[in-house]
Amino acid sequence: MNQPSLPMAGAKPSRTTLLNRGLAASLGSPYVHLIILAIDLDRLSEVVDDVPRAWEVFLLSRYIGRLPKGEAEGLALATIDHAAELAALDEDPCECLGAPLLLACGDAAARGHLSSRITASLAELGIDSRGLSKRLAPWHKQPNNLVRELTGRALDAPLAPPLAELSARALQALSEAHRAPRPARRRGKP
């Protein structure tokens, strides 16, 4: 079983994470929230059953899509740059805890929320998310029910140690943002 997404005193994660303390210090809470969510969803992917493959990439892509475009672009580029640094150190960034975030950035670029620069940067790392993005495209057309189902599964899953509070709040907000809109009521009619 994986260790905590952030090392506790004396504990070491069993896998390298995409979290970079320098980026956390310079980019602040938006970066930390995104990376911790990616790490927790990656951990959850090992314990949540009966969900479609790449569900964690889909949820991360939806989360990225809710961020302001400029902020999302900066966070994606910083994450990809850190993944390139890991690759230069002979660490496979695709094996890191939080790696689904790299594919989610590619998917968000395919949906137009991030620039093609993201796709090119991922390609330089040997990561091609185009096939996965094509597979996820139907999910993005009508995402509300699927997002609510997947976030519910994630929030209810037995995970040790449990989800970070940041991740739980992000998943709850994502679910809330994908509530089906209520039909408009006509004036004058009950």
Class of residue 50 by CB neighbours under 10 A (exposed 0-12, middle 13-18, buried 19+): exposed
The phi and psi torsions of 17 (rounded to 5 degrees) equal -110, 165
pTM for this prediction = 0.86
Residue 108 and residue 114 in contact, taking contact as beta carbons nearer than 8 Å: yes
User: pLDDT tens per residue, the chain (190 residues)?
Assistant: 333 334 333 344 568 899 999 999 999 999 999 999 999 999 999 898 888 899 999 999 999 999 999 999 999 999 999 999 999 998 899 999 999 999 999 999 999 999 999 999 999 999 999 999 999 999 999 999 999 999 999 999 999 999 999 999 999 999 999 986 655 555 655 4
- Nearest to 34, CA basis, from 185, 182, 174: 174
